[in-house]
Structure 1
Amino acid sequence: MTVINDQPKLTTVATLPEHYFLENIVVRVDGSMLVTALNRRELWWVPAPADDATIGPVMVDRMEGLPMSIVEAEPDVFYVSSMAPAALDRFDLRGWVPGAPVNRTRVLTFESHAAGLNGSCLLAPGVILIADCAAGLIWRVDLTEDGLAGTAKVWLRHESMAPGTDPERAVHLTQTFSIPYPGVNGVRAAEKSHRVYYTGSWEQVLARVAVDPVTHEPASDPEVVAKGIHAVDDFCIDENAGVAYITTHIDNTLHRVPLDPAAPAAEAAVVVGDPIDHRFLGPSSAAWGRAPGDYGRVAYFSTDGGHTPPNPAGIIKPASVVRIEF
């Protein structure tokens, strides 16, 4: 894979202590962010980046489980999936201010075998997709009209989503909870093309599936878009440019990959991490900024500072939120 010479601009906009596993990130309309701290069972608020910012991250809530992905289903209403137990919680942040109590509702508790809820996305109003990296499938959650409850069913299962089979490569998220090496990990909806893209960490792939715009069900068999990306994790997509930006969690890199499997392989490139950049250790998830002109140009990434082994960097830094301008 190509390594580009024109490196994007990286800026650390927030930090949390060392050994915080910042798993997922979402940008609010005002430019502030929500970030899940998986191994601390916490949800954090990060202020919008500003030259004169004087306030740091603020904890929003402590959770029962290990919080994973975040989806904004309506303005300032967010759904956070978690492991151990596998559940979905609703956070209503309308009118919320940092430091105030938060309005949280348990929407759904999944079946016991749904142990690995990971990446998620909003597929349509009231319809959320959640990757189950331990079961090797994607769930569909249909919310009730008031958004306070939901039902889940298997949306898609495919061999490209399979988790690891080597017990020695199991992922120990806490001292008492482990999952197989993740299968399907990140999942994103491409609105213009009516497709869903997802990563498969064990199979080292980016894949996609067509979606029926009326039923929101899969309309084709999945096809592999790119393969051979070691430690592939979550990603964001730029439909205008036809590319995905994919993090590799334990490899500390960011890959740019065409969304079209027929695109020349030479268009794929490592855009951050070769050589290694200590500001970008343990990258997990990505979200585009919400300011005018940010889409396709400015993205924010959650990192764990090298917490997760194996750590080829050989160094631990504070967990951080990193702004990248392409």
Structure 2
Amino acid sequence: MLTVGVIGLGIALSPISTASEISQSVAQSSLEQPPMQLVPARTLATYPKGYFLESIVIDVDGTIYITENQTGQIIRRRADSGADIFSQVEVGLAGLGLDIDGTLIATGHAETGEQYIFEFAADGTPEYELRIPEAGFLNGLALFRPSVFLIADSTASTLWQFDTETRQITPWLQHETLAPNPDAPTIPGANGIKLFEGPF
């Protein structure tokens, strides 16, 4: 059984769920929030006004990677050496994910609306930059299985499946509950995705 969370929407799926079963699961999912429990926290870093820190992932060695939406930067923070700029591209960055081999994948968007997927080498060099014309606004992503990510699209009512080996993207789930709320146009639709249980 696979549990997918999209902006508080819990979807329980089996590995062989059909499209109709997925839609039914989405429609029946509860949007009720669990009780909040506060935990201790400490500030690791602060950034100037105007920075838009978007997504965060943590590698197995404790290294933290963060996308900055406005500058196209990926900020890297190591426990033993502080923070530096791991990479920077010419468009804004949103979602960020780690493959099982440590490869970083990011989603990006140009001011003119074009959507992109990037893969980065270990030294921060972009391995490739793919323009995705069929996407609306690629946002958060999560590793589905080795070399395959699920990507939330904030405007297209879609979760995309992206294969890093074939560099192909296909719709994985499309449903009206993933769309933006027409009564709150400034709030995106599916903004991020987390897998709580999965096949590996």
Structures share fold, TM-score greater than 0.5: yes
Residues 127 and 162 of structure 1, relative CA distance in 2, 3 Å threshold: same
Aligned-partner residue type, residue 60 of structure 2 = V
Q: Which residue of 2 aligns with 1:239?
A: none
Instruction: Give the counterpart of 2:75 among 44, 52, 59.
Output: 44
- What TM-score, normalized by structure 1, do the two folds share? 0.47
Distance 1:25 1:135 in 2: 23
Unpaired segments of 5 or more residues in structure 2? 1-32
Check conservation: 2:71, 2:91, Cα contact below 8 A. Answer: no
> 1:15 & 1:80 partners in 2: Cα distance?
22
2:138 is aligned to 117
- The percent of aligned pairs where both chains have the same amino acid is 28
How far apart are residue 107 of structure 1 and its match? 4.5
* Residues 85-104 of structure 1 deviation map (CA, whole Å, 9 limit, x = unaligned): 311111121xx4xxxxx321
Mapped partners of 1:62, 1:107: distance in 2: 12
Alpha carbon RMSD of aligned pairs, Å?
Answer: 2.3
Task: State TM-score, norm by structure 2.
Answer: 0.73
State the secondary structure of the residue aligned to 2:192. Answer: strand
Q: Is the 8 A contact 1:83 1:115 kept in 2?
A: no
Q: Please, which of 84, 87, 96 is the counterpart of residue 116 of structure 2?
A: 87
Superposed CA offset, 1:119-150 (max 9, x none): 10110112111000011211111222xxxx50
- Find the partner of 2:51 among 12, 20, 43: 20
The count of residues paired between Structure 1 and Structure 2 equals: 165
State the SS of the aligned residue for 1:190. strand
Cα distance between partner residues in 2 of 1:165 and 1:154: 22
Q: Which has the larger radius of gyration?
A: 1
The one-letter code matched in structure 1 to 2:71 is R
Structure 2 counterpart of 1:183, from 170, 173, 189:
189
Q: Partner of 1:133 in structure 2?
A: 154
Flag structure 1 segments of 5+ consecutive residues without an equivalent.
97-101, 171-180, 195-212, 214-326
Query: Following the alignment from structure 1 to structure 2, what is the Cα–Cα distance between the partners of residues 62 and 143?
Result: 20
For 1:190-233, what per-residue CA distance to the aligned partner results, in whole angstroms no more than 9, with x for missing partners? 335x6xxxxxxxxxxxxxxxxxx9xxxxxxxxxxxxxxxxxxxx
Residue type at the aligned position of 2:62:
G
Any runs of at least 4 consecutive aligned residues in structure 1 with deviations exceeding 2 A, and if so which?
1-4
Q: 1:72 aligns with which of 93, 98, 122?
A: 98
Change (3 A) 1:82 1:2: closer
Q: CA deviation at 1:163?
A: 1.2
Counterpart secondary structure, 2:181: coil
Q: Shift in Å at residue 3 of structure 1?
A: 6.5
SS in 1 for 2:56: strand
Contact 1:129–1:140, Cα closer than 8 Å, also in 2: yes
Q: Deviations over 1:37-69 (max 9, x none)?
A: 002221111122xxxx6x442112221221111
Q: What does residue range 1-326 of structure 1 map to in structure 2 within 5 Å?
A: 7-48=38-79, 55-84=81-110, 85-93=114-122, 96=123, 102-111=124-133, 113-144=134-165, 150-166=167-183, 169-170=185-186, 181-192=187-198
